[in-house]
Amino acid sequence: MSPVLARRSLIKTATLSAAAVGFLGGTKLAFAGSPTEGDLAILNVALGLEHEAIAAYQIGAESGLLKGGTLDVAVLFQSHHKGHRDAQIGAIKKLGGKPVEAKTADEYKKSTKLNVASIKTAEDVLRLAQKLELGAVNAYIGVMPNFADRSLSTVASKLLADEVMHYTALTQALNEALPKNTLSFGG
Amino acid sequence: MSALTALVAILISGDGGVGDASRGASLYVARCGACHSLGENGAGPSHQKLWGRKAATQPGFDYSAALRASKIVWNEKTLDRWLTNPNELVPGNKMMVQLASDPIDRADLIAFLRRETR
């Protein structure tokens, strides 16, 4: 048994944590403003992540490091993120909100989070994309229970499925093992 | 308190450096990395010099009024409560996400933050 599983087993044997009780009870967070303001806040955070993903794939595509089928897939994934962006902008406007705008290409290139300066190989590009896709998967899972408008959860679920597809393809392209445990995403 | 209960309390609280900071680093990227980094503000505030810092004081980030008024200082206990349910600790804050329901995960994330941001 791995150290983490051993530690987890010990805790499960001893107690059911308050957090677990909360999870089982379907804990829902409350936003300070109206339900619509809460939904807009979530959508704008998600939109910011989509802007960032589009920029990252653009940087990867323009790097000259991706070739052939790998480049084609990166461009395909970027097009998915552009579709997500457009869907989110539409939803935000429908709710009466103002969509957050993308940063400039230079701002993304200078971002310590993207750390573009460290990218030297095609593998580096794929690892950055993989990291961003995994972050997006977990972010969507984390906010999913908190949409006041349940129809937005359906839209977000479709976006999330795309992100998982991207993460899985990138993980296999990097010759990394897929997660061994069930329910391996989210927290 | 039995020895087992005491051990569990330590594990859950992340107190005493029990958490695995290396595993916490991976969890941080996967669970927090979409919105946070140790370098710059994003959708969420930077975690640079988080440890021991008063909440809502990272320069340049637009915090909620609720968090600004909270008077929280980030340490093992406050971070554990925050990661368990941010809205229970500070109702009305902006963090609309829960991604660390598991006490082991929280202990490891907290160990990472203690190592990297103090």
Give yes or no for B60 touching A (CB within 8 A): no
Which residues in chain A touch residue B40, judged by CB atoms under 8 angstroms apart? 111-113
Which residues in chain A touch residue B106, judged by CB atoms under 8 angstroms apart? 19
Nearest to B96 by CA among B34, B37, B48, B47: B34
pLDDT of residue B18: 83
3-state secondary structure (DSSP) of residue A34: coil
pLDDT of residue B98: 84
CB B99 within 8 A of CB A138: yes
pLDDT of residue A111: 94
Which residues in chain A touch residue B66, judged by CB atoms under 8 angstroms apart? 32
- Sign, Cα dihedral of B43, B47, B51, B54: negative
Using one digit for the tens of pLDDT, what is the confidence trace for B27-67? Answer: 999 999 999 999 999 999 999 999 999 999 999 999 999 99
pLDDT at B8 over 70: no
Q: Which domains are assigned to chain B?
A: 3-117 (1.10.760.10)
- Average pLDDT on B5-21 reads 59
CA distance B115 to chain A (A): 19
Q: Which residues numbered 50-109 in A keep a CB inside 8 Å of some CB on B?
A: none
CA distance A165 to chain B (A): 16
Using one digit for the tens of pLDDT, what is the confidence trace for A32-85? Answer: 678 888 999 999 999 999 999 999 999 999 999 999 999 999 999 999 999 999
pLDDT of residue B96: 85
pLDDT of residue A25: 34
> Cβ-count burial of B44 within 10 angstroms (0-12 exposed, 13-18 middle, 19+ buried)?
middle
Hey, how many other C-beta atoms are within 10 angstroms of the C-beta on A148? Answer: 16
Nearest to B12 among A17, A113, A138 (CB): A17
Nearest to B40 among A14, A18, A113 (CB): A113
pLDDT of residue B90: 95
* Interchain contact, B96 vs A42, CB within 8 Å: yes
Residues in chain A, pLDDT under 50:
12-27
Q: Which domains are assigned to chain A?
A: 34-173 (1.20.1260.10)
pLDDT of residue A35: 82
Q: Determine which of A31, A44, A84 to mutate to test the interface with B (most B C-beta atoms within 10 Å).
A: A31
Give yes or no for A29 touching B (CB within 8 A): yes
pLDDT of residue A30: 57
The whole-angstrom separation of Cα A34 and Cα A138 is: 25
Residue B2 tokens read as 């039995």
Residue B79 tokens read as 């971070």
The whole-angstrom separation of Cα B99 and Cα A187 is: 4
Give yes or no for A112 touching B (CB within 8 A): yes
pLDDT of residue A31: 62
The whole-angstrom separation of Cα B8 and Cα A39 is: 37
